[in-house]
Structure 1
Amino acid sequence: MTRILVLYYSSYGHVRALAQAEAEGARSVPGTEVDPRRIPETVPESIRHKAGFAADETPVATPADLEAYDAVIFGTPTLFGMMAGQMKSFLDQAGSLWARNALVGKVAAVFASTGSQHGGHEATLLSTQIPLQHFGMLIAGMPYTFAGQTTASEIVGGAPYGAGTIAGADGGRAPSETDLAGARFQGAHVARIAARLKGASLQAEAA
């Protein structure tokens, strides 16, 4: 089995919806086991409640969990043109994995939610990939074989760098079917790449 972790941070549910679609897409590839997990929250509960953050019962991951997977798909909201601080803090705690080269050769991908079409969506996708490359992970984007990202008939999130959605300034816009289709596409894309790499590794070990 190819093991894939869909790891995300979500405040209002947009990234979680994309994460569910990413997991669905990955599971569509035979021989794939998928675990959705969320980043630990750092915002006090009183502030979460006041701000209207969405409740989420998805199990929480730890940095040490990353080593057990063949691929990790990271999801984050865009905050001031960058990944959420919770995601950055989580990655900053993975130094021991970096020191042991424990993530080298594993597949990684990123998806994101942004408030507006020009609110830093692509910047977040690209900058989130930087620490993953420091870990030695292999980046999978969302190639143009997913034709939905080229439509001009509606607002569409995502880019060649990863799936995504545009939540609107007030967070009131839910991911569209095109956005969710892009996430499913990316999840399956990652699963196929991870399976090929794992198969090649097993063949090398048997040789």
Structure 2
Amino acid sequence: MADSTQRASEEAPRQANPHNPRVEVLVLYYSRYGATATMADVIARGVESVDGVVAKVRTVPEISPVCEATEDVIPAEGPPYATIEDLRQCDGLALGSPTHFGNMAAPLKHFFDQTTSVWFSGGLAGKPAGVFTTTSSMHGGHETTLISMLFPLLHHGMVIVGIPSQETALLKTKTGGTPYGPSHLSGEANRTLSEEEKRLCLCLGKRLAKAAVALKDARI
């Protein structure tokens, strides 16, 4: 997956505009087998299709019930691990996780359990947010996972961005895709994203970017 920092740096000359300060959308996810990471990359492309907006792609480390188990500060591959400061600085958020028994995965939940200081300061209040997920079966809990991921975002006072019915891929998809956010039906073979799933990921990224631009200096 392309590193978001490199991608942002490559597009900086096109986006430079002294009258429109750079807007940043944080694409934050946990992925065990790579499908959610693929979705994150497509969503980042959708974010950066809007002029003046860049995507910062970040992940979270594994957690373990064994206290001695630790992760390196920098992952061996993929994007860097997210920090609480990444949340404070972002102008919008796309949050992604595979389904774990109809809920978000523990590593992502663990990260958000540490965001109390951001909640006290209102650091995410009024910023747009959307969610995405992957599941191995058609009825593996993608909709309940997406809805459960909205709860902490609502507590942080974020403005929820979904996918409207005007997006035709939402009506035609035979794999993943919901009004609550993009989803991917990976199956046991970890299949690639369908064309409809890609379009929905791009749609969410683009809508988040446009909302982030509109809300950057707003107080709601």
The answer to whether structure 1 residue 189 and structure 2 residue 207 are counterparts is yes
Match of 2:52 in 1: 31
| Matched residue type, 2:200 | G
Match of 1:156 in 2: 175
Give unmatched runs, 5+ long, in structure 1: 45-54, 202-207
Counterparts of 2:160 and 2:116, CA distance in 1 = 19
Counterparts of 1:87 and 1:157, CA distance in 2 = 21
- Contact 2:35-2:190 at 8 Å conserved across structures: no
CA positional deviation for 1:70: 0.6
TM-score by length of 1: 0.86
Match of 1:51 in 2: none
CA positional deviation for 1:200: 4.5
Match of 2:192 in 1: 174
Aligned-residue RMSD, C-alpha: 1.7
Counterparts of 2:175 and 2:164, CA distance in 1 = 15
Counterparts of 1:33 and 1:156, CA distance in 2 = 29
Give unmatched runs, 5+ long, in structure 2: 1-21, 67-75
Q: Identity of counterpart residues, as a percentage? A: 40
> Deviations 1:81-106 (Å, cap 9, x if unpaired)?
00001110010010111111111111
CA positional deviation for 1:64: 2.8
Q: Stretches of 4+ moved more than 3 A in 1?
A: none
Counterparts of 2:23 and 2:185, CA distance in 1 = 31
The count of residues paired between Structure 1 and Structure 2 equals 189
- Contact 1:108-1:138 at 8 Å conserved across structures: yes
TM-score by length of 2: 0.81
The partner residue of 1:4 within 22, 25, 28 is 25
Shift in CA distance, 63/171, structure 1 to aligned 2, threshold 3 Å: farther
CA positional deviation for 1:63: 2.4
Partner SS, residue 202 of structure 2? helix
- Contact 1:22-1:184 at 8 Å conserved across structures: yes
The partner residue of 1:142 within 163, 166, 176 is 163
The answer to whether structure 1 residue 95 and structure 2 residue 116 are counterparts is yes
CA positional deviation for 1:161: 0.3
More helix by proportion, 1 or 2?
Answer: 1
Counterparts of 1:100 and 1:29, CA distance in 2 = 29
Counterparts of 1:150 and 1:69, CA distance in 2 = 31
Shift in CA distance, 125/157, structure 1 to aligned 2, threshold 3 Å: same
- Contact 1:112-1:158 at 8 Å conserved across structures: no
1:27-66 → structure 2 map (5 Å cutoff):
27-42=48-63, 56-66=77-87
